[in-house]
């Protein structure tokens, strides 16, 4: 039951296809006769990877290099040092997978406070409710009803080393209660708990001209969710956290005194082992790839070269298939933001994940409007493939920005 619950959670969070450890299968894409093996990478608590806020959510889930705001703690803690206001507060809410169920949702509450011109700190609470689930035994008899839920608590700090470069770190406590202690095959389950760390870097150049137009160039890099594996029973195998490498660029160009455009692009990769290809007879001997049962540090390094590729009928590995599969593990997201006088914004973007690695492909739209200290952002997801339960996903974000607080002008 534990496996089924974890698979369900991963599926509900990240894709319209089953994201459990998919048995090796053959998929024939539309172009040519190339054969691609499905090999989705899965982790515990994938809710940590959901873009919580509407601004980045409308830009193809790209936010690591956007200008700093109240949601910087999720995308890149290093950005907090360059917050324009002294304090920002943000509350986001997203009904999740409403095409399938009507009681799943994600809430994200965060705040960032400047300590002085070079230092900032922030905190965040993320809560994901999976709605109501009925547990049954092998005969279909109802055991109990339960409402699984997961949450994380974050505290982060950012330090600007120069006027253009900063670093940041976030500590995170994670709690995942998927079973409520339900007895599974004679073993008592328990909530999964772990701690993790994010480390980020951020560079900004406010004097980056494009032709005769002034502009701002940003670059960001974050390695997130570095932490101990998580388990749901005392004896079962423990699962990796969604350790992830994300880097991206953003460029804002000023059209005139009132209008500007921002272009952004993120690339991210899970730093988690890829499932190898095992011998079909024994199911134990690895034919191609590497043993995924390794420590956290080894897993991070191994994730860059452990794709198994395609194994031919004679047991040999198809030339070039390992490198191709490694490239497929990189996801792309990006978008364009139009801003009028920091009062109104319109956004659009895209996100692409290879079909053999989860097949999340969608277009995003969004808008934001600011009135005094309040900013309201909305985003909407349009799937580019049929029968995707992520389609028509809405996100809502309320941001509050305050300046001239005590300590805001201190060194």
Q: What is the DSSP string of 333-370?
A: EEEEEEEETTTEEEEEEEEE--GGGT--EEEEEEEEEE
**Partners of 183 in the beta sheet?**
188
Q: Which of 242, 118, 124 is nearest to 172 (CA)?
A: 124
pLDDT at 345 over 60: yes
- The DSSP letter of residue 162 is S
Inter-residue contact 276 to 289 (CB < 8 Å): yes
pLDDT at 281 over 90: no
Most confident residue range from 147-151, 153-157, 179-183, 400-404: 153-157
CB atoms within 10 A of CB 59: 30
pLDDT at 23 over 50: no
Inter-residue contact 390 to 360 (CB < 8 Å): yes
3-state secondary structure at position 374: strand
Q: Which of 172, 175, 171, 178 is nearest to 193 (CA)?
A: 175
Alpha-carbon separation of residue 169 from 49, 110, 112, 196 (angstroms): 17, 15, 13, 11
pLDDT at 13: 38
pLDDT at 175: 96
Among left, alpha and beta (phi > 0; psi -120 to 50; other), residue 77 is alpha
Detail the DSSP E strand segments found in 142-243: 142-146, 149-160, 165-177, 183-184, 187-188, 192-205, 215-227
Q: Spelled out in words, what is the top-level CATH class assigned to the domain 2-274+329-402?
A: mainly beta
**pLDDT band at residue 405, thresholds of 50, 70 and 90?**
low
pLDDT at 8 over 60: no
Burial of residue 301, with CB atoms counted within 10 A of its CB: 0-12 exposed, 13-18 middle, 19 or more buried: exposed
Burial of residue 404, with CB atoms counted within 10 A of its CB: 0-12 exposed, 13-18 middle, 19 or more buried: exposed
pLDDT digits (tens, 9 = 90+) for 246-267: 999 999 999 999 999 999 999 9
**pLDDT band at residue 9, thresholds of 50, 70 and 90?**
very low
* Cβ-proximal residues to 282 (8 Å cutoff; 6+ apart), any chain: none
Average pLDDT over residues 261-282: 93
d(CA 276, CA 290): 6
Inter-residue contact 383 to 361 (CB < 8 Å): yes
Share of the chain above pLDDT 90, in %: 67
pLDDT at 212: 86
Average pLDDT over residues 128-157: 86
pLDDT at 159: 98
Computed over its alpha carbons, how large is the radius of gyration of the chain? 22
Average pLDDT over residues 165-179: 96
3-state secondary structure at position 402: strand
Inter-residue contact 264 to 62 (CB < 8 Å): yes
Alpha-carbon separation of residue 371 from 53, 77, 86, 258, 376 (angstroms): 19, 26, 18, 16, 9
pLDDT at 57: 95
Average pLDDT over residues 277-298: 89
pLDDT digits (tens, 9 = 90+) for 186-224: 677 889 999 999 999 999 999 998 888 999 999 999 999
- Residue owning tokens 């790209």: 62
pLDDT at 128: 96
């Amino acid at each position: 039951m534990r496996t089924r619950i974890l698979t369900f959670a991963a599926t509900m969070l990240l894709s319209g296809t089953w994201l459990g450890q998919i048995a090796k299968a053959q998929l024939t894409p539309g172009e040519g006769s190339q054969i691609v093996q499905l090999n989705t990478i899965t982790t515990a608590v994938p809710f940590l990877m959901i873009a919580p806020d509407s601004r980045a959510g409308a830009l193809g889930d790209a936010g690591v290099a956007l200008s700093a705001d109240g949601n910087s703690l999720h995308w890149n803690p290093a950005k907090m040092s360059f917050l324009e206001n002294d304090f920002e507060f943000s509350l986001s809410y997203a009904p999740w997978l409403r095409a399938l169920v009507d009681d799943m949702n994600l809430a994200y509450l965060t705040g960032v406070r400047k300590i002085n011109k070079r230092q900032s700190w922030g905190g965040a609470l993320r809560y994901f409710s999976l709605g109501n689930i009925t547990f049954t035994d092998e005969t279909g008899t109802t055991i109990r009803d339960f409402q699984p839920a997961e949450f994380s608590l974050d505290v982060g700090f950012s330090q600007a080393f120069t006027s253009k470069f900063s670093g940041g770190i976030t500590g995170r406590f994670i709690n995942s209660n998927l079973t409520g202690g339900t007895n599974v095959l004679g073993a008592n389950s328990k909530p999964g708990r772990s701690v993790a760390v994010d480390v980020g870097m951020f560079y900004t150049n406010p004097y980056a001209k494009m032709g005769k137009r002034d502009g701002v160039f940003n670059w960001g890099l974050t390695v997130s969710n570095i932490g101990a594996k998580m388990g749901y029973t005392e004896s079962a195998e423990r699962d990796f956290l969604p350790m992830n490498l994300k880097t991206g660029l953003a460029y804002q160009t000023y059209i005139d005194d009132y209008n500007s455009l921002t272009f952004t692009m993120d690339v991210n990769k899970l730093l988690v082992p890829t499932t190898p290809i095992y011998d079909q007879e024994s199911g134990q001997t690895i034919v191609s790839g590497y043993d995924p049962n390794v420590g956290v540090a080894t897993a991070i390094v191994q994730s860059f070269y452990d794709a198994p590729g395609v194994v031919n009928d004679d047991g040999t590995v198809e030339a070039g298939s390992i490198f191709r599969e490694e490239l497929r593990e990189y996801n792309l997201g990006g978008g364009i933001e139009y801003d009028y006088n920091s009062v109104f914004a319109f956004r659009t973007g895209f996100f692409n994940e290879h079909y053999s690695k989860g097949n999340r492909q969608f277009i995003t739209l969004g808008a934001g409007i600011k009135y005094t200290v309040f900013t309201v952002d909305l985003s909407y997801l349009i799937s580019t493939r049929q029968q995707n339960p992520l389609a028509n996903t809405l996100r809502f974000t309320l941001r509050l920005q305050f300046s001239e607080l005590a300590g805001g002008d201190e060194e």
